[in-house]
Chain A
Amino acid sequence: MHIADGVLSVPVWTGCLAVTAAITGVSLRKMKAEDTPRIALMTSAFFIASLIHIPMGPTSVHLILNGLVGIILGPLAFVAILVGLILQAVLFKHGGITTIGANTVMMGLPAVGAYYLFRLHRLFKFRVSAGIFGALAGGVAVFLGAVILALLLVTTGSEFIVVAKLAVWAHLPVMVIEGLIAAFVVTFLKQVKPEMLGA
């Protein structure tokens, strides 16, 4: 899911960097100064949770959790994901330096989308609606991320069409796993700490 340095064309990665800078600027202005440590602490929890590997047949996948970040942090998820990706690039060399913007757009925009999708669960009053919308938000966030990844690759050059298609297909099982995990986490939080879901 992370794009390394040296693949994307210059207009693509600089454009993504500009989008990331603009959204981050607006988000930081909206974030209250004393909220910084709170958001950062949740970001570190997400960072660690995304290291968990889920066995999938003979191999395993690691969690992305961008949908859950969105559900819990709302629009501020974008900045949280930017910080997480900076640390992943520096600590694990996962991702890249010039592609931080591209990776943040790819995971951050779907995260914010997941937040608005999840909020719809309040329109339905039945018992498992939070879980169902959690699953939808978690799955859709991964799917949108894969679609943005594919778009970025295809805009870079037509040589990448097959890689882009493959990337979307490879994310389908991940999407199912992420959706289920999001459903279980949301159900758990609904019972244990409903205020975290903005209730």
Chain B
Amino acid sequence: MHLPEIDKYAHLDSPLHSWDPRVKIVSLFCLILSMVLASNLLVAGLGLMLAVALVFLSRIPFGFVFLHLRWVMLFVLLFFIIMPLTVSGEEIARFHFLSISRRGLELASLIGLRAFSAVLLVFPMIGTMKFSSTTAALQRLKLPNKLVQMIIFTYRYIFVALDEMGRMFMAARARGFRSGTNLHTLKTVGNLIGMLFVRSYERTEHIHRAMVSRGYDGTLRVLDEFALAKKDFLKAALVVALALGLYFAGWTL
């Protein structure tokens, strides 16, 4: 099993990488909103093109991006299979007893375009900086301190937990465990999950004591210093103008 590294391409150099994290998160979030609100196929299509352009501008390789689209594809596919067959409306094609409705097809396409645009924008938004910058920016944007800490610690320890689980499954396989559709598999997996929980639970004690002995008092102190430049605001103005443009284009087009 493998965990994708979201900030694998944080070291690149692009207009998106040099953008202030706080302004970047807020501006691109506005753009994501405008994609989700796209009310017709034309606007949603424009949105998708804009999202692709921003990924291109961020220099994050398209191969990397494509690998991460698996879940969205599955999700959109589900709607594409079901909605044209079940939504009532003008019939555009018919195979035996199946009839394809125009409205269903349009609705599924709209959902697909919106979902892909929103997901693509996560790459220029989060993938163009170190994850620690993202969390520091969230802290500065006044997200609750405890929530930001939860995100930081959880992110830090999922890699530890992943290694732990990998070792446990390897040991189980070495003892002859093969997974299949049976109760024995469920019982073995249940015990392994239980063991993972027990080990994490015990580790929390050690980690907590180690943190307290280093002066942890329950608050998070962010050391990253952000400096806003005129360029940051120019980029923000451009992106927010695009978002508003898309939104209002939906009313007139």
Contact A37 B204 (CB under 8 A): yes
Chain B residues whose C-beta falls within 8 Å of the C-beta of A189 in the assembled complex: 194, 197-198
CB within 8 Å for A34 and B154 given contacts A25-B144, A98-B32, A189-B198? no
**Does B3 belong to the interface (CB within 8 Å)?**
yes
Contact A91 B83 (CB under 8 A): no
Chain B residues whose C-beta falls within 8 Å of the C-beta of A25 in the assembled complex: 144
Q: How large is the interface on B (under 10, 10 to 19, 20 to 34, 35 or more residues)?
A: 35 or more
Spot the interface stretch: B11-19, B65-73, B90-98, B238-246.
B65-73
Q: Please name the residue on chain B nearest to A5 by beta carbon.
A: B118
Contact with A along B1-17 (1 / 0, CB 8 A): 10110100000000000
Q: Please name the residue on chain B nearest to A193 by beta carbon.
A: B198
Contact A184 B194 (CB under 8 A): yes
Chain B residues whose C-beta falls within 8 Å of the C-beta of A32 in the assembled complex: 218
- Bound CA span A79–B87, Å: 37
Contact A41 B207 (CB under 8 A): yes
Contact with B along A29-40 (1 / 0, CB 8 A): 001111011111
Spot the interface stretch: A80-88, A107-115, A118-126.
A80-88
Least Cβ distance of B253 to chain A in Å? 18
Least Cβ distance of A75 to chain B in Å? 15
**Does B40 belong to the interface (CB within 8 Å)?**
no
Q: Which interface residue of A10, A56, A162 has the most chain B CB atoms within 10 A?
A: A162
Instruction: Give residues 131-177 of B contacting A (CB, 8 Å).
Output: 144, 146-147, 149-158, 160-162, 164-165
CB within 8 Å for A96 and B115 given contacts A45-B197, A87-B158? yes
Instruction: Give residues 102-133 of B contacting A (CB, 8 Å).
Output: 103-104, 107, 110-115, 117-119, 122, 126
Tell me which of A33, A52, A68 contacts B189 (CB under 8 A): A52
Tell me which of A33, A92, A182 contacts B4 (CB under 8 A): A92
**Does A24 belong to the interface (CB within 8 Å)?**
yes
Contact B146 A31 (CB under 8 A): yes
Q: Please name the residue on chain B nearest to A72 by beta carbon.
A: B197
Q: Knowing that A25-B144, A90-B126 are A-B contacts, what are 5 other residue pairs whose CB atoms are under 8 Å apart, sorted by A's residue number?
A: A34-B217, A41-B203, A42-B201, A98-B36, A184-B191
Task: Offer 28 A-B interface pairs, CB within 8 angstroms, sorted by A.
Answer: A2-B71, A4-B75, A6-B36, A6-B111, A7-B111, A7-B114, A31-B146, A37-B216, A38-B204, A40-B152, A42-B204, A47-B154, A48-B161, A49-B197, A52-B165, A54-B189, A91-B6, A96-B115, A96-B118, A96-B119, A159-B107, A180-B183, A181-B186, A184-B190, A184-B191, A187-B190, A193-B201, A196-B197
